[in-house]
Each structure stands twice: as structure tokens, then as C-alpha cells.
Amino acid sequence: MSQIETFPVTGIPKTGMPTRALVVGDPFRAERISRQLENVQEVAHQREYRTFRGTWKGTEVIVSSHGVGGAGAICQFQELMDAGVNTLIRLGTAGSLQRGINDGNLIIAESCVRDDGVTHQLVPESYPAASAAELVIALAQAAGEEEAPHHRGVVWTRAAFYPGVIDLGLTGYVELGVLAIEMELSALLVLASTRGVRAAGAVVIDGSAADELVETTGYDPHRSVVADGVSRGITVSLNALVALPERPSVIA
């Protein structure tokens, strides 16, 4: 029997994988989502990268975890695309930057501020991080069908979770109407657009970040209101992932 050839970082098989993927940060969340699929199979687990394949509403999908931070996550995004994935949605959690956006609400990112710590080494600073419009629409429609409270707009992807002594511009982004802050999505959007892959992201609010988090206390994402929002977000994201017709990548 010939051995399946796999990618070096994630261990994902190089061939024969579904073309649609839902990516999340937490490997335990990936495992949780996999239990909602039919015909599920774990295909790889290396480091923080845990990957499953299965069927959602008759369509084969991948569910895979990428860990925390853009630099590590983009390794997974790259290998998924190299395996033939051409439609990706990231589902994560984020801190709210605006009043009226409550814990458990879903933010559908139309674009991102690029402070991810990695894409500035890949493309010019002026290159945008924008979601595929058709996936944004699919996510919004799925959120409406699930009656999930949601908002659409700009999300700030930032490499630093806990701030240091440098002013990273949070006040300005709040004033500009940026909705939320997370750590990986702009890396996905930039890489996807350079590869001709459609990608988007949805994040569940797990607290307020309008005031900088300066200590390890005060932030508690492990609450029922967040868990309920994540459950809705999983269903919304899976439904949006399979809602669109197949489209091959147009850039090698």
C-alpha cells in the first residue's frame, strides 16, 4: 500500500481533499464542529493544526484549526490552498470596539485592517485585505436564517494580544468605526486574494476591547453567552460555506 503524501507543517494530505474549508483557531473547536458533520474522518493532527473532513448538507468540507496568530495560521492557509481548497471561511472570536455590539454577536468581516504581523512581508502595505463579496452575502443570509444577531463591516487584525508600551492606534480605529479586533483574518484574506481563492471571516464577540487589555485578568471568553454565539456561528458558517456553487481557483 502506498503512503499518502502530506504537507510538512499541517500533515494535511496533498491530494484528494474537499475544496471547501472552515478554519478555526482552537483544535478543540475543530473537533467540536466535526461532530456535527456526517461521514467524518480525522485526517491530520500536528502541533496546533488539527484537520477533519466530512459532509455538511450533502457537501464535503474540511474543518481545520490554525492556532493563535497570523504567522502560524498562514502556514495552514497556504497548505490548504495547495491541497486544492478554493473556498475558506474563518470562524473565530473577537473583542468588540463599538457600543451596541454585544457579547455573542456575530461580526461578518467585509475587510480587515492589516496589522497581522506577516502579510507586510508578503505584499505591499497598500494591498487590501478584503473578503469575497459572495461569501459575505452568504454569511449574512445564513445569519438571518438562523436569527443570529450580526453586524457587517471592518475588522482589525492585530498581532499583539496584550499591548506593550507602543501606541497601536486603538482609539483611532474605534473612532473610525472598526467593529472588532482579532488576530488572523487579514492573513487569510490577503493570501486568498493573491491565489484566486474566495475567503471571508465571521467572528463572535467574546468581550469588549475598546479599552486596551493590560492585564491577564478581566477577560473571560468562557461564558454561556459566548458559547451560544459560537454555536450559532458554527451553523451560520457551515451553511454559508456550502451555499455557493463550486468555483475553481484562477491563480496557480
Residue 191 lies in a domain: yes
Instruction: Please give the backbone phi and psi of residue 123, each rounded to the nearest 5 degrees, phi first.
Output: -140, 165
Give the per-residue pLDDT at 215: 54
3-state secondary structure of 110: strand
Residue 247 lies in a domain: no
Region 53-64: what's the mean pLDDT? 98
Maximum Cα–Cα distance across the chain: 60
Look at residue 34 and tell me whether its pLDDT is greater than 90.
Answer: yes
Residue 246 lies in a domain: no
- Compute the radius of gyration of the chain from its Cα atoms: 17
Q: What is the mean pLDDT of the chain?
A: 93
Q: Are 239 and 215 in contact (CB under 8 A)?
A: no
Look at residue 248 and tell me whether its pLDDT is greater than 70.
Answer: no
Look at residue 129 and tell me whether its pLDDT is greater than 90.
Answer: yes
Residue 251 lies in a domain: no
Taking the CA of residue 62 as centre, how many other CA atoms within 13 Å lie in the half-sphere pointing to its CB? 31
What percent of the chain is modeled with pLDDT above 70?
94
Residue 9 lies in a domain: no
Q: For the ranges 2-6, 103-107, 122-126, 181-185, which has the lowest average pLDDT?
A: 2-6
Give the per-residue pLDDT at 202: 98
Give the per-residue pLDDT at 217: 52
Q: Who's near 249: CB < 8 A, 6+ residues apart?
A: 81, 84, 86, 195, 196, 197
The number of distinct structural domains making up the chain is: 1
Look at residue 30 and tell me whether its pLDDT is greater than 50.
Answer: yes
- 58 by Cβ neighbours in 10 Å (0-12 / 13-18 / 19+) ranks as exposed
Q: What angle do CA 139, 143, 146 make, to 5 degrees?
A: 140
SS3 content of the chain, % helix, strand, coil (to 5): 30, 30, 40
In Å, how far from its chain's centre is CA 48? 15
Q: Are 103 and 225 in contact (CB under 8 A)?
A: yes
Q: Which residue has the cell 451553523?
A: 235
Look at residue 1 and tell me whether its pLDDT is greater than 50.
Answer: no
Region 28-53: what's the mean pLDDT? 97
Residue 181 lies in a domain: yes
Supply the range of the domain harboring residue 163.
Answer: 20-241
Give the per-residue pLDDT at 4: 87
CATH of the domain at 66: 3.40.50.1580
Look at residue 251 and tell me whether its pLDDT is greater than 50.
Answer: no
Residue 57 lies in a domain: yes
Residue 231 lies in a domain: yes
Look at residue 216 and tell me whether its pLDDT is greater than 70.
Answer: no
